[in-house]
Structure 1
C-alpha cells in the first residue's frame, strides 16, 4: 500500500467515519474510495477535495494527504524531480542570501604543517574543514590562485567551501570543478540536486568557475577507492573519503603538479555543464541548437511572444543607428523566423511578467539596446495578438503563481523536441 493509501485509511479511522458514510457525504463512489485506499485506482483531484471537505480535515492533514496524492499521481521519480527543479528556482531567486565568511580568520598554513608533521590522514568533519579552510587561505596568497576539485555538492561542507572561495571572488582566480551524473537512471535526482548547488555559484563567480560533468554507469565504483575525491592547489592535494569525514593531505608541489596534470587530461573527456557568454549572438546560437525544430516550450517571467513580431514591427522597433547593430539585428530576425516556423509554441509565464511589459514597454527576450520601447497602443495590440494566437490553437500558455514559484527575472528555460 502506498503512503497515500495508508494515510487515507488512517484519517478515516481517526475521524471515526466509515467508508460508506464518507462516500455519502463526499458524493464519491464507495468502491472508488476502497480502490484508492488499496492503490487499485487514482481518484481525481476534485474527488480528493470532496473527501477532504467531507472529513473536515485540518489544514495540516489536508496538506499531507495531497502531498502523498501528488506522489502517486505523478510517480515518485517525477515527483521528486519536480520538487528538485522547484528547489533550483528557489536557490536562483535568493542569490543575495548566499553565505559569505571572513577568510582572514582562518588558521595559518604554518600551523597546518606543524599539525600534519606526523600525520597525513585526518578524520572528523571539524578537523577536515579546518584544514580545507587553511588550504584556501594559503592558496589565495599565490599570485594566480587555482582550485581544481572533484568534490560532489552533496558533501556537507560544500556550500561553506564555495562561500570561502566567493569571499575572494574579486581576485583573479581559476576554479575547475568536475562532478558525475548517474547514467543508469532516466531521471537523476542527485544530478538535479547538484545543479541546484552549482548553478547559483556559476552565476555569482562567472567565468572564474568552470563546471564539468561526465556520466558514470555505477556509483558504487567510487567506494572502491578510500579517498575518491580530491582538491588540488599549487602546493597541496586534499583527498577526501566518500562521506568527506576523512581526508588525506599531500603537501608537496610535485604531488600537486601530478594531480593537476591528471585532472587536465580528465577534463578533456568531460563536458561543460555551464557555459558563459556576454555575446548575444553566441547565446542565441546555443539556444537554437538546443531547442530543435518542431515543438517549442519556454518558461520565463514574460510570455514568449517574439514569433508575433511582423516585418513592419521589426523595422519600426529595432535600433539601426549604432555601429555593429545591423549584424545582430539580422541575426535576431532569423531567430524570430525560426520561432514562426514551429508547429506549436507553449509559453509559461507570470502575471508580474505581463505587468512589467505593460509598465516598461520592453520585451525581456531582446536586450533593450537593440529594441525601442512599445507605446501604450502597441502594447495593447501586441497583447491582443498574443491572446488571438492562443484562441486559434497555434500557441498555448500557462500562468504560474509568483508567490508560490520563485522564478528569477534573468532566467529563461527553453525545451524543444530534441
Structure 2
C-alpha cells in the first residue's frame, strides 16, 4: 500500500460515497479508482487527483493532504522531502534582511556572580538568561571570540545570533555543527533543516562562521549524552543538556583553556559552510571561476535565476560593457579567455534558469549574477544578440537548457547553484549591501536537487526551446 492509497481509502471510507459515484462525477475510470484504493495503480496526473478530490467534496486542507500523498507516492518519500526542504532553503535567501526582534529578559548579571568555579543551572528559562548574558559580555569586549558546539535544536542560541550586535566590537563567532552521516530520509531532512536555519543567520550576523563535520547525530546527541552543547567565551564555559533544561556554568580559566583546545581540535577537521567577503573584481572572478577540472567534467549541473549570459557574450560586447576603470586590461583578457573556454564545454553543462530572470535581462540589460560595479547594463540590441546566441546553441544541439516552472520552485535573483561533481555543490549569492556569500558543501541532498532535468520542476527540453524562441520574438518586435 502507498501513502496515496491509504489516504484515498481513508476519505472513501469517511465521506459516505461510492467509487461508482466518484467515477461518474470525476470522469476517472471506476476500475482505476478501485486499483488506486488498494495500491495497485497510481493516478495518471495531478488533474485526476484533483478531480477525485472534488468528487468526494474534500475541503481545501483535505485536498492538499491527498495531493501531498500523491506527490510523495509518485516521487518516492526521500526524493519528495529532499525537494521540499531544498525549496525551503532556496526560498530562505529571500529573507536575508529579515530578523524578528527578540525580546530577552535583562538583569541577569547577578546570576553570573560565582562563589565557586562551577554553578549548576536548572530550567530552560534560567539557562537562556545566562546564555544571553554570557554572549553579551563577550560581545562587549574588543575582538571577542565565541565558540559554539551546538545543533539546530538549540534554537535560542541561533535567535541570539540575530538579536545581539556582535559586529560593533568585531566579535568572532565560530560554530561547529554536525551533519548526520547516515543515509535515508531522516538524515536528509535533518541536514537540510540545518542549512535552512543557517542561511538567514549568515546574512544577519556577518561575524558568524559555521563549520561542519559528518558524524552519527543520534549517537552524539540524545537524552543520555553528557551536556553535549557547549558555549565557550574568554571567561566562561556553558555546557547544556540535550533537553536544554540543565546546564553547568564554569569560569575556571583552566577549564576554559581545556575546552577551547578541544574546540580547536574539532575545528581542524571541520569544513567551513560558507565564505563571506566584499570582493574586488579580481576576488570575485577568482571565487566564481570554475577550475579546469570542473569545466572539463563529464557532467555539470547548474541552477541560475538567469541564463549564464556571459558565456554567450561576444568579446566585442564584453569589452564594451566591462567597467575598464576598475578592471585592468590583463584581467579583461583573462575574462574573455575564461568565457570562451566555458562556451566550448557547454554541451556537458545542464543549466536550469527562470523565465522571470530571462525577462528581467531583456527588459533591463542587467545580469544579476555579476556585481553592478563591474559592468554597465547591456543595450537592447546587445540583449537580443546574447539571447540569439543562446537560441542558436540550443537549435544546433550544443546547449541544452531547461526553464524552471516558477510554480514548482522559486529561485531568488542573486543566486547561482553549481554541482561540478556528484560530491560537491557550490552556492553563490551576491548581495549589493552585504557582499558575496559562497557556500562550499558536500551535502548530497543539495547536489541531487540540481539535477533538475529529471524532475517536474522544469519544462521539457522542447517546451524550454519554444519559450526561448517566444521571448526572443517578443523583444525583437518590441525593440525594432
- Answer yes or no: same fold by TM over 0.5: yes
Matched, 1:109 2:128: no
Query: Which stretch of the first structure deviates more once superposed, 224-233 or 52-61?
Result: 52-61
- Within a 5 Å distance, the mapping from 1:282-321 to structure 2 comes to 282-285=286-289, 293-320=297-324
Task: Report the Cα distance in structure 1 between the residues aligned to 2:179 and 2:89, rounded to whole angstroms.
Answer: 17
User: Compared with structure 1, are the counterparts of its residues 218 and 58 closer, same or farther at alpha carbon in structure 2 (3 Å cutoff)?
Assistant: closer
1:155 matches 2:154 = yes
Q: TM-score, normalised by structure 1?
A: 0.88
Q: Compute the displacement of 1:118 (Å).
A: 9.8
Distance 1:347 1:285, change over 3 A: closer
What SS does the aligned partner of 1:20 have?
helix
Moved more, 266-275 or 352-361: 352-361
Instruction: State the Cα distance separating 1:229 from its structure 2 match.
Output: 1.6
Q: 1:399 to 1:20 in 2, by over 3 A?
A: same
> CA–CA distance in 1 between the matches of 2:294 and 2:101?
35
What is the CA-CA distance between 1:417 and the residue it aligns to? 4.2
1:22/1:108 CA distance change after superposition, 3 Å: closer
2:169 to 168, 171, 174: 171
1:411 aligns with 2:415: yes
Which digits, 9 at most, give the CA deviation of each residue in 1:41-60, with x for residues without a partner?
A: 32221432332344444333
Alignment of 1:5-404 (within 5 A): 5-45=5-45, 46-101=47-102, 106-113=106-113, 120-165=119-164, 167-186=165-184, 188-206=188-206, 208-217=207-216, 219-223=218-222, 225-277=225-277, 278=279, 279-285=283-289, 293-320=297-324, 322=326, 324=328, 326-327=330-331, 330-331=334-335, 333-393=337-397, 394-401=399-406
Counterpart CA distance in 1 for 2:326 and 2:133 is: 51
Please give the alpha-carbon distance, in whole angstroms, between the structure 1 residues aligned to 2:55 and 2:65. 16
Kept in 1, the 8 Å contact 2:239–2:248? The answer is yes
Q: Deviations over 1:102-161 (max 9, x none)?
A: 78x6334344225x7697222221111011011112222322211101111222313322
8 Å CA contact 2:326, 2:374 repeated in 1: no
What does the per-residue CA deviation read over 1:27-76, in whole Å, with 9 as the maximum and x for residues that have no partner?
43333322322223322214323323444443333222101111111222
- C-alpha contact (below 8 Å) 1:231/1:237 kept by paired residues: yes
Q: Tell whether the 8 Å contact from 1:348 to 1:400 is kept in structure 2 after alignment.
A: no
- Report the TM-score, using the length of structure 2 for normalisation: 0.77
Structure 2: how far apart are the matches of 1:282 and 1:199?
Answer: 23
Provide the secondary structure at the position in 2 that maps to 1:78: helix
Change (3 A) 1:309 1:181: same
Q: Is the 8 A contact 1:329 1:370 kept in 2?
A: no
CA distance in 2, matches of 1:300, 1:198: 21
Distance 1:18 1:78 in 2: 33
Q: CA deviation at 1:257?
A: 1.5
Structure 1 CA distance, aligned partners of 2:325 and 2:103?
A: 48
| Whole-angstrom CA distance in 2 between matches of 1:192 and 1:57 | 32
Question: Deviation string for 1:228-275 (max 9, x for gaps)?
Answer: 120100010011111222211111222112111221121111111112
- State the aligned residue count: 413
> Residues 2 and 126 (structure 1 numbering): CA distance in 2 closer, same or farther, change over 3 Å?
farther
SS at match of 1:280: helix
Q: Distance in 2 between matches of 1:388 and 1:25?
A: 48
Shift of 1:321: 5.0
Quote the Cα distance in structure 2 between the aligned partners of 1:284 and 1:118.
49
What's the Cα RMSD here? 2.9
Are 2:394 and 2:401, in contact at CA under 8 Å, matched by a contact in 1?
yes
- 82-91 or 285-294, which moves further after superposition? 285-294
Q: Secondary structure at the match of 1:164?
A: coil
Change (3 A) 1:247 1:56: same
User: Are residues 344 and 191 of structure 1, via their aligned partners in 2, closer, same or farther at CA, if it must alter by over 3 Å?
Assistant: same
1:238–1:369 distance in 2 versus 1, CA, 3 Å: same
